[in-house]
Amino acid sequence: MTEQSKIPLPSGTPTTPSLIERAAGTFDLRGFQTPVAPRIPAAPAATPAPAPASAGDAAPVPAAPAPRPSAAPLAFEGIPARQAFRGRFHPIDRRQLREQCLIEPEGPVTELLEEFRIVKRHLLLAAAESRAGRGVRHGERILVCSAHPGEGKTFCAVNLALSMAAEKDTEVLLVDADFAKPSVLSALGLPGGPGLMDALADPAVAVEDCIIGTDIAGLFVLPAGNSTGSDTEYLAAAHTQQVLDRLTFQAPNRVVIFDSPPVLAASPASELAHHVGQTLMVVRADQTGEAALRDAVGMLSGCEDIKLLLNCTRFSPTGRRFGTYYGYKE
């Protein structure tokens, strides 16, 4: 990603050689196909009723059997047929987004916007494959994390959510899963309140009631909730799967993005990896060392699909200058 001066460098962290100069992978879009609604066959023509038997017929015509009642659609116990987000609604200050170098909805095309357009496309492709029964399971759930604090995971998670919300057929739920040091709400200028941890700790709390709506079309936010010293244990409980299923059940166009704590600084990220289909590991250029990256990836083994995102780069060997084609200049 482009260098962002608003991302603070963690104090006391020694500078180590970067693992790569550019971690932008080649996005192969040949496998992308627009989902097509299945054709519903026409109902068979009704069979004409047989003519009434004459008086000379010995055997009566048997009556047609009564039609069987159709089976009720399958549903998870405790999950509404189509959950609606009934939480509060708050507008997002666009000026605050600009001050933090975040993507501004309906704003001009910038280099940052173009870069996240490329990043999200590969993630959305994997999510579509997952919904079609191919590829990873729960590909619509994306975990954004980093090895150490200060490498830009929240910056990337918020920008990724803002970029995906601009899709015409996608609804985005941004979840602040950094229970110890939540920062998603402050980045977007949203008030605090009950959130994911409250729903995990208390089965009586419906998680959809904790979700905050925004004036950005297609963007919803789930706060972290009340802090607790047992966040990892709650995530490992069986109730977690049901809570997360409520976020995506019968919502085929919804993508859930989790902003988690740093992998090598807190344990919830490794537990969340078991509940998502994709992980986006943010790597800070000239700061994240190879040993730390390998250690962090190893702790996320619960997720099958782990991608790397290089943040704060100052040099592109291929001369990439996204956004300049639209007239944007730094």
What is the chain's pLDDT, residue by residue, as a tens digit (330 residues)? 554 545 444 444 444 444 444 444 444 434 444 443 444 444 444 445 454 444 444 445 455 555 444 444 444 444 444 556 666 789 999 999 999 999 999 888 999 999 999 999 999 999 999 999 998 999 999 999 999 999 999 999 999 999 999 999 999 999 999 999 999 999 999 998 999 999 999 999 999 999 999 999 999 999 999 988 899 999 999 999 999 999 988 788 999 999 999 999 999 999 999 999 999 999 999 899 999 999 999 999 999 999 999 998 765 556 555 555 555 555
Residues in the chain: 330
pLDDT of 126 reads: 95
pLDDT of 320 reads: 59
Examine residue 320 and state whether it is found in any structural domain, yes or no.
yes
Examine residue 237 and state whether it is found in any structural domain, yes or no.
yes
- Structural domain that includes position 176: 91-326
- DSSP-assigned beta bridge partners for residue 257: 142, 174
pTM: 0.73
pLDDT of 57 reads: 47
Q: How many CB atoms lie within 10 A of CB 209?
A: 15
Examine residue 86 and state whether it is found in any structural domain, yes or no.
no
**CA 132/CA 129 separation, integer angstroms:** 5
Examine residue 251 and state whether it is found in any structural domain, yes or no.
yes
**CA 88/CA 212 separation, integer angstroms:** 5
Examine residue 25 and state whether it is found in any structural domain, yes or no.
no
pLDDT of 322 reads: 53
Domain count, the chain: 1
Sheet strands (E) in 238-300:
254-259, 278-284
Examine residue 315 and state whether it is found in any structural domain, yes or no.
yes
pLDDT of 321 reads: 56
Give the CATH number for residue 296: 3.40.50.300
CA distances from 297 to 127, 264, 301 (A): 21, 10, 7
- Which tokens is 9 given? 């460098």
Examine residue 50 and state whether it is found in any structural domain, yes or no.
no
pLDDT of 85 reads: 66
Contact call for residues 117 and 283 (beta carbons, < 8 A)? no
Examine residue 37 and state whether it is found in any structural domain, yes or no.
no
Q: At what angle do helices 111-131 and 153-165 cross, to 10 degrees?
A: 70
